[in-house]
Homo-oligomer: A and B are copies of this chain.
Amino acid sequence: MSKKTKSFRPKARRPKGLEDRFGALASAETALISAAADVYASHGFELLATPALEYADCLGKFLPDDDRPNEGVFAFTDDDDQWMALRYDLTAPLARFVAENYDPLPKPLRRFAVGPVWRNEKPGPGRFREFIQIDADTIGAPGMAADAEMIMLAADVMAAAGLAHGEYVIRVNNRKLLDAVLGNTGVPETDEGAVQKLRTLRAIDKLDRLGPEAVARLLGEGRKDSSGDFTKGAGLDAKGITAVLAYTRAGANDLDNTLSALEPLMGVSQKGAEGLGELRAIVALLQACGYGDGRTIIDPSIVRGLGYYTGPVFEADLLIETLNEKGQRVRFGSAGGGGRYDDLIARFRGQPVPATGFSFGVSRLAAALHGIGRLGTAPRGPVVVLALEADQMVHYFAMAEELRANGIRAEVYMGGSGMKAQMKYADKRHAPAVVIIGEDERAKGEVTVKNLVLGQQMSGNIKDNKEWREGRPAQVTGPRKTLLAMINEALT
């Protein structure tokens, strides 16, 4: 082995668009997952874990912004030459699971799932090729109560993540309303009409980023961006463009007012009446359950890029500013979304299976919440027991164990360095205190506890140094049996 090591030394590097998360950031992710899982489990959802790899044809072609199979996913052939791919979301594997195990499963099926998903796309700031999602879905529930529940659950998860009323909102819309608007402007229900509809969805999805003028062009003939690339438009006429833009602006900050504003835009469309009826049923439940207090709004500009939604769509929005990669304060925006997809499982079964769900982007949301100090804030390291004499390890272990038995995170220094390096290590670990038994202490049966938090305050505040030292010194020595009491004192 050592010979090979000499002949080949690879460069340690991460592939682009993939990230490591260490310490507090990784723990923030775990905390968010745990909070969301508790919400879903308390509502009767059961955990489902499916493999990361699926047959590519089972995953289907439902990637956002992509109609071609295998594009946007990491795919390769198995040893029997079948194409496999890393899942790009948790919904496609759910559809496979439900279709494969349909008969014995309880219907409705209420499942939540959590895990990494992969997108083989060009990475960018905050845009990774692997990230964690947590999803909840109800399969086999045709009524709007299931959608209303998804919306309320999304609000509950945001609250469980530590967000206050007013710091988030769940936006609700219904795809059928846009279908109605497009139908009213003459977009046909043909393959060509479907392409126009998909381009319209994607144009509306860019309202936030590009503004109404650019989106108007994307709704019409198309748009050349600053790099000179031309994006073909949805081909709507002027009347259609106006109608679609008017529709996206019909949202008000009140559920009832938005419903009233939307009504005249639907004309005599049957689809429009259906969509409005579904929204009304959802709104009635949201209001009756107390979620009509601003936590949920109807926002017609929310369409969600995915092609497979058939009715209600939702988006969870983080309203507060967070720090981006460059440390700038930015509006965070969408933390997840979902909707009703009654046709997705039909791919396998040939007949529609009603389904609705919600997916949170855990990695992104956890990073944002951690960045503003909401999750895994101010991580306190372990108490570090210094290891100053090699033959005294047993006693160091016993002290650390005593602290842990009393609920205090603690470790023995495991490196091979001297006292100075050990103190530096304790600082780097954000240790609140170190435990020291040197030769002197050992001879007297004593132990020294150094309070690093206090020590830092003292060194940062020279003027009060003397005062601090006299009043409450950062370092105390006492009998070995008083260790726990001294540590508890230091930690308060």
Residues of A within 8 A of B (CB): 1-5, 8-15, 18-23, 26-27, 29-30, 37, 41-44, 46-55, 57-58, 60-61, 74-76, 78-79, 82, 84, 86, 95-97, 99-101, 106-108, 110-111, 115-116, 118, 120, 129-130, 138, 140-143, 145-146, 149, 191, 194, 284-285, 288-289, 307-308, 343, 346-348, 350, 354, 381-382, 384, 387, 390, 393-394, 397-398, 400-401, 404, 409-416, 425, 428-429
In the complex, what residues of B have CB within 8 A of residue A410's CB?
A: 42-44
Known: A10-B57, A49-B21, A415-B107. A289 touches B397 (CB 8 A): yes
Smallest beta-carbon distance A16→chain B, Å: 8
Contact of A44 among B74, B99, B115, B382 (CB under 8 A): B382
Contact of A100 among B12, B84, B95 (CB under 8 A): B12
* Contact, CB under 8 Å: B51 / A347: no
Interface centre among A115, A130, A145 (most CB of B within 10 A): A145
* Contact, CB under 8 Å: A2 / B110: no
In the complex, what residues of B have CB within 8 A of residue A111's CB?
A: 22
* Contact, CB under 8 Å: B404 / A149: no
> CB-nearest residue of chain B relative to A4?
B61
In the complex, what residues of B have CB within 8 A of residue A149's CB?
A: 397, 412, 414
Known: A1-B194, A404-B42, A414-B138. A78 touches B425 (CB 8 A): no
Contact of A393 among B5, B95, B140, B285 (CB under 8 A): B285
* Contact, CB under 8 Å: A141 / B106: no
* Contact, CB under 8 Å: A415 / B145: no
Smallest beta-carbon distance A337→chain B, Å: 19
Which 7 pairs of residues, A with B, have the shortest CB-CB distance? Answer: A44-B411, A44-B382, A12-B99, A18-B51, A141-B414, A288-B394, A76-B76
* Contact, CB under 8 Å: A191 / B47: no
Contact of A15 among B27, B46, B55 (CB under 8 A): B55
Interface centre among A15, A120, A400 (most CB of B within 10 A): A15
> CB-nearest residue of chain B relative to A80?
B16
Smallest beta-carbon distance A453→chain B, Å: 17
In the complex, what residues of B have CB within 8 A of residue A23's CB?
A: 46-48
* Contact, CB under 8 Å: B49 / A404: no
Smallest beta-carbon distance A178→chain B, Å: 15
In the bound complex, CA of A78 to CA of B16 (Å):
10
* Contact, CB under 8 Å: A13 / B58: yes
* Contact, CB under 8 Å: B14 / A51: yes
In the bound complex, CA of A12 to CA of B58 (Å):
6
